[in-house]
Chains A and B, each alone.
Chain A
Amino acid sequence: MSTVRVPPVLRAAVGGVRELSVPGSTVSEVLEALYSAHPEVRSQLVSDDGELHRFVNIYVNDEDVRLQEWLDTPVGESDTLLILPAMAGGASAAR
């Protein structure tokens, strides 16, 4: 089981936790296992044509999978898969 780190915006879809243990030996297997356990995550990460949205960055440990083997990038037992959408927040609130 690898560890999946969930960003704040997706935590509601996984029951509020920050980390999950998910089976799978590649990025795509881990994501599929995550989607079957928490179907709402799929609708937020995957477009209608089944592709992972471009605004979602996936890292295995500290490396971006876009620069590795994309969804086929291997994920080991002790690896951490991190889902990272950009965050906008900074200055202000009341607008």
Chain B
Amino acid sequence: MAQTYQDLLAAARAEIPEVQVAELADRLGGDGAPPVLIDVREQSEWDEGHIPGAVHVPRGYLESRIAGVATPDQPIVLVCAGGFRSLLAGRNVREMGYEHVESLAGGFTRWKQSGHDYVVPQTLTPQQRARYSRHTLIPEVGEAGQLKLLGAKALLIGAGGLGSPAAYYLAAAGVGTIGLVDDDVVDASNLQRQIIHTTDRVGMLKAESAKIAIEALNPDVKVNVHATRINRDNVLDIIADYDVIVDGADNFPTRYLLADAALMTRTPLVHASILRFEGHASVFIPYEGPCYRCLFPEPPPPDLAPSCGEAGVLGVLCGVMGNIQANEAIKVILGIGDTLSGRLLVYDALGMSFTELKVRRDPNCPGCGPDAQLEFRDYDAWCAGVGRHPEAVHA
């Protein structure tokens, strides 16, 4: 004879004990070992909130996955929205030999209505699941990694040759906050390599122009415009909120200032520099790996350090190096892989060769050594040096 839903529930209720909300709260908060709390609702219900400490196994997967979350001798409490699905599910679990299964009467709804704590997990929205699906498929990233990227804040120094591709790809990757420091305006001569800008935005502040491009690409990204030249009075305020700095500066005073500020705030610094067909890239993790000054204690004089404006640069090279920076920034944020910390990557675009040089922490480093007296200096004067030409330092 066919059974009704009510018949099934009555049979389940006779077999599976029900635990009341208040009792469960006591057992979860008490001194004894808490039961294994399994929430058997669907993903969308779980996403809207669940009991702290609960494990999520949708009812359809309960039999196949329960061995991964509980042993047959453990007390188990099943939870659904109203206390019916959990009751029915309890019979199946009991049939598998899990003797101490109970069902939460009234389910999560009554738990929430009784004023008990619940957590709303941070999850990707359906739109974000679609947008970042090629990321979340990668085991090293996954949904948790994507959420990390969305919560991360990256500061880009310069929205130019290196900053354009780096900002573009970091934005596409869903790095949730991107700061852009640049006081320059878009010039027609920039467009050969600074791909985040457009012909109709010539004359606009680069940081504003880049913001337009980023927002059009990915509305998840919040863009902070810092339309200023970074200096020792504002650097600590600007970098304070960020998790990683991407250095795409065009001059030595700014690079040494950033190197010192990154040490002071212990912020990872992703470095790249470019000239003609050659690019350098590295990652400086304060006090864990070498710093910029371990690598280059002093800048060369202006005649040995021409700017791209003086010596030229292949546009595509900026894309290669800026994307290496974006790649390293993402790894720093996610804490995955081996970054370029401790290595300087030298790329020769003409010979198409990548050379790796070892960079070690200098025990006498004036920046990060044990005896270093870290304080801001007059970087323009220091980089210009004796007998050099200060006006040539600003590229």
Chain A residues within CB distance 8 Å of chain B: 5, 7-10, 18, 44, 53-57, 59, 62-64, 67, 82, 84-95
Write out the residue numbers on chain B whose beta carbons fall within 8 Å of the beta carbon of A44: 303-304
Known: A59-B357, A86-B273, A87-B280. A94 touches B190 (CB 8 A): yes
By the criterion CB–CB under 8 Å, are B184 and A92 in contact?
yes
Write out the residue numbers on chain A whose beta carbons fall within 8 Å of the beta carbon of B194: 92
By the criterion CB–CB under 8 Å, are B161 and A84 in contact?
no
Q: Which 10 A-B pairs have the closest CB atoms?
A: A91-B158, A91-B160, A93-B309, A86-B296, A87-B273, A92-B160, A55-B300, A91-B250, A94-B187, A90-B248
By the criterion CB–CB under 8 Å, are B351 and A89 in contact?
no
By the criterion CB–CB under 8 Å, are B249 and A90 in contact?
yes
By the criterion CB–CB under 8 Å, are A54 and B278 in contact?
no
Write out the residue numbers on chain A whose beta carbons fall within 8 Å of the beta carbon of B298: 53-55
A18–B277 alpha-carbon span in the complex (Å): 11
Q: Is B276 an interface residue (CB 8 A)?
A: yes
For B393, the closest partner residue in chain A by CB is A88
1/0 per residue B332-351: CB within 8 Å of A? 00000000000010101011
For A67, the closest partner residue in chain B by CB is B360
Task: Determine which of A64, A84, A90, A93 lies in contact with B187 in the assembled complex, contact meaning CB atoms within 8 Å.
Answer: A93
Known interface pairs A18-B351, A92-B161, A92-B184; 16 further A-B residue pairs with C-beta atoms within 8 A, sorted by A's residue number: A9-B305, A53-B298, A53-B300, A63-B358, A82-B346, A84-B344, A84-B346, A85-B304, A87-B275, A88-B250, A89-B250, A90-B162, A91-B182, A92-B182, A94-B187, A95-B184
Write out the residue numbers on chain B whose beta carbons fall within 8 Å of the beta carbon of A10: 304
Q: Which of B158-175 contact A (CB under 8 A)?
A: 158-163
Listed residue (A55, A59, A86) with the most chain B CB atoms within 10 angstroms of its CB: A86
Write out the residue numbers on chain B whose beta carbons fall within 8 Å of the beta carbon of A64: 357-360
Q: Is B247 an interface residue (CB 8 A)?
A: yes
Task: Determine which of A8, A88, A93 lies in contact with B299 in the assembled complex, contact meaning CB atoms within 8 Å.
Answer: A88
For A7, the closest partner residue in chain B by CB is B278
For B192, the closest partner residue in chain A by CB is A93
Known: A91-B160, A92-B184, A93-B189. A8 touches B276 (CB 8 A): yes
A86–B302 alpha-carbon span in the complex (Å): 11
Nearest-neighbour CB distance to chain B for A13, whole angstroms, equals: 10
Q: Is B58 an interface residue (CB 8 A)?
A: no
Write out the residue numbers on chain A whose beta carbons fall within 8 Å of the beta carbon of B297: 54-55
Chain B residues within CB distance 8 Å of chain A: 157-163, 182, 184, 187, 189-190, 194, 206, 247-252, 255, 272-278, 280, 295-301, 303-309, 311, 313, 344, 346, 348, 350-351, 355-360, 394-395
By the criterion CB–CB under 8 Å, are B395 and A89 in contact?
yes
A44–B94 alpha-carbon span in the complex (Å): 83
By the criterion CB–CB under 8 Å, are A55 and B308 in contact?
no
Write out the residue numbers on chain A whose beta carbons fall within 8 Å of the beta carbon of B307: 88-89, 93
Write out the residue numbers on chain A whose beta carbons fall within 8 Å of the beta carbon of B296: 55, 57, 86
Nearest-neighbour CB distance to chain B for A48, whole angstroms, equals: 10
For B343, the closest partner residue in chain A by CB is A62
A85–B356 alpha-carbon span in the complex (Å): 15
By the criterion CB–CB under 8 Å, are B300 and A85 in contact?
yes
Nearest-neighbour CB distance to chain B for A40, whole angstroms, equals: 12
A8–B276 alpha-carbon span in the complex (Å): 7
By the criterion CB–CB under 8 Å, are A89 and B275 in contact?
yes
Known: A59-B357, A64-B360. A92 touches B250 (CB 8 A): yes
A67–B358 alpha-carbon span in the complex (Å): 10
Nearest-neighbour CB distance to chain A for B337, whole angstroms, equals: 20
Task: Determine which of A18, A62, A82, A88 lies in contact with B252 in the assembled complex, contact meaning CB atoms within 8 Å.
Answer: A88
By the criterion CB–CB under 8 Å, are A95 and B276 in contact?
no
A90–B306 alpha-carbon span in the complex (Å): 11
By the criterion CB–CB under 8 Å, are A91 and B273 in contact?
no
Task: Determine which of A59, A62, A63, A90 lies in contact with B161 in the assembled complex, contact meaning CB atoms within 8 Å.
Answer: A90
Write out the residue numbers on chain B whose beta carbons fall within 8 Å of the beta carbon of A89: 161, 250, 273-275, 307-308, 311, 313, 395
Nearest-neighbour CB distance to chain B for A59, whole angstroms, equals: 5
